[in-house]
Amino acid sequence: MADLYEQPGLDHVAAEWGRQPVKHADRFVWPGRAVLVLPNRTWKYQPESCRDDSGTGEWVLDGLVLVCRGCGLDCT
């Protein structure tokens, strides 16, 4: 069965999607969302304990992906 959500492709960049299912703090996360794994970047929180509630996100990889500023969860 295919994921209900398909992340942006990362074939041409030095990044990958985490493989573990996540929950962002106590909020719903659409099935299939994942944490962006970037070389040379560590997120401050794990999604399950993330305290970032700004709702703004951060565009990374030259605007390819929007992620949570606290934990790197895909928000694209």
Q: In whole angstroms, how far apart are CA 10 and each of 14, 24, 47, 53, 64?
A: 8, 22, 21, 26, 9
Pick 46 or 25 by higher pLDDT: 46
Specify the pLDDT at position 70: 92
Specify the pLDDT at position 66: 92
Q: Where are the domains positioned within the chain? A: 14-76
Joined together, the tokens standing for residue 6 give: 């398909």
Does pLDDT of 1 surpass 50? no
Burial of 33 (0-12, 13-18, 19+ CB in 10 A): buried
Specify the pLDDT at position 69: 92
State the average pLDDT for the chain. 79
Specify the pLDDT at position 75: 85
